[in-house]
C-alpha cells in the first residue's frame, strides 16, 4: 500500500452553500471509505474561511485515489477547484523518527 496526501483547493464562490448542502453526504462518503481514507479535514488560512481540504489515503495507486476524489459528493457538487495527489513518506511522527522506508525513485526523462 502507498500513502498519499490529497490536497484540495475549494472554489470560494459557492463554498458555504455547497458545504452546508452536501456536508452529511460527504461525511457518509468518508465513513464508507474509511478503510482507505485514514484522516480528512478542512484547511483554512488563519482567520479566514475554509480554503480546501486534506486527506491521507492508504491505497494501491494514484488512479484509485482519483476514483475516490471523483466519488466524493463535494467533488461532484463543484466545491473543489483543484486537487493534488502526492505520495507521502512519513519519516517523523509522535515526536520520534520512524524507521527508514524506501522512497519511490522519481522517473527521469531524457
Contact between 44 and 26 under an 8 Å Cβ cutoff? The reply is no
Please give the pLDDT value at position 49.
76
d(CA 87, CA 95): 22
* pTM score of the predicted model: 0.85
Mean pLDDT score, 34-63: 93
User: If we measure between CA atoms, which residue out of 55, 64, 54, 59 comes closest to residue 36?
Assistant: 59
Rounded Cα–Cα distance for residues 17 and 23 (Å): 10
Which three cell numbers, joined as nine digits, stand for 58?
492508504
Q: What is the mean pLDDT of the chain?
A: 90
Q: pLDDT, tens digit, for every residue of 7-20?
A: 999 998 889 899 99
Closest CA to 10 of 51, 58, 63: 51
Amino acid at each position: 500500500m502507498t500513502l498519499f496526501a490529497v490536497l484540495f483547493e475549494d472554489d470560494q464562490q459557492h463554498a458555504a452553500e455547497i458545504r452546508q448542502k452536501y456536508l452529511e453526504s460527504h461525511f457518509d462518503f468518508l465513513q464508507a471509505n474509511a478503510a482507505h481514507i485514514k484522516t480528512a479535514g478542512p484547511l483554512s488560512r488563519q482567520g479566514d474561511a475554509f480554503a480546501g481540504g486534506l486527506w491521507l489515503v492508504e491505497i494501491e495507486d494514484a488512479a484509485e485515489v482519483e476514483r475516490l476524489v471523483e466519488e466524493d459528493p463535494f467533488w461532484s457538487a463543484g466545491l473543489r477547484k483543484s486537487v493534488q495527489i502526492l505520495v507521502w513518506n512519513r519519516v517523523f511522527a509522535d515526536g520520534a523518527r520512524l524507521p527508514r522506508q524506501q522512497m519511490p525513485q522519481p522517473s527521469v526523462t531524457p
